[in-house]
Amino acid sequence: MKQLITAETVRNAHAAGRTQLEVTLPQDIVTPEARVVAERLGVTLTEAIAGHSAPAPVAAPASPAAPSTVPTDDADLAAIRAAVLAQLPAGSVPDEVVAQLVRKVAAEQSATVSAVDGVTTLPGGIKCVSGQSVRMGVFDGAPGGQIGIADVITSADGSSMAAGFMQWNNAFFPWTLNYDEVDMVLEGELHIRCAGQTVIGKAGDVMFIPKGSSIEFGSPGHVRFLYVAYPANWQEC
């Protein structure tokens, strides 16, 4: 049974922590967009010919750049068809399956994915998270269990940076950063104490905390802010 490996297949594998996908030819069909996404996310497509037990990683072949609009004319569709056929053994796939692949690749290159739970994604990994959809969890690293955190952009998105929201009421806690962080205050006041001095950020203010800083985060009232941290695995640093 043939398996169609698309860009979404690769993204799901990456989100699950996988760094390799096994592809058996000619049963499995990999779309050109899937190869591009695999290369960008660092997922190896290990290809083997059916009947041979020793698969070997292969470099992803160059794929044509994704068009910025939905393909609407014969020239666009012909280019996609040529790219799809270049990935398949000659004569191994019926025309109706090729046509299905062409439609799939065109959709991957141009169609916007519908918003799910406040998250909308575009081709190429662009992601929009609705702030109103975010639900806070508890930041285990902070004492007292009063600090809320919600990660919205992580390494699973193919990003070298992480981003999310934090909020709390009337709490202070010490923290040493082994990463760089930028905070933008959305509500209330964010107090950062360091070396006996305090800086206060209010709504609309942007604050930078360099790697290696030993500080105290806090607020005497309510605070909600957006953080951006580098690298993306800041919690493991």
Domain ranges within the chain, ordered by starting residue: 3-112, 134-236
List pLDDT tens digits, range 146-181.
Answer: 899 999 999 888 899 999 999 999 999 999 999 999
Rounded-to-integer distance, Cα 161 and Cα 180, Å = 10
In eight-state DSSP terms, residue 100 is H
The answer to whether 11 and 153 have CB atoms below 8 angstroms apart is no
Distances in whole angstroms, Cα of residue 77 to Cα of each of 51, 81, 99: 34, 6, 10
Distances in whole angstroms, Cα of residue 1 to Cα of each of 21, 31, 80: 17, 17, 24
Instruction: Please list the residues that pair with 46 across neighbouring strands.
Output: 22, 57
Q: Report yes or no on whether pTM surpasses 0.75.
A: no
Q: Which CATH code for domain 134-236?
A: 2.60.120.10
The answer to whether 44 and 60 have CB atoms below 8 angstroms apart is no
List pLDDT tens digits, range 39-98.
Answer: 778 888 887 766 654 444 444 444 433 333 444 456 667 777 777 777 777 777 777 777
Closest alpha carbon to 191 in 145, 225, 164, 235: 225
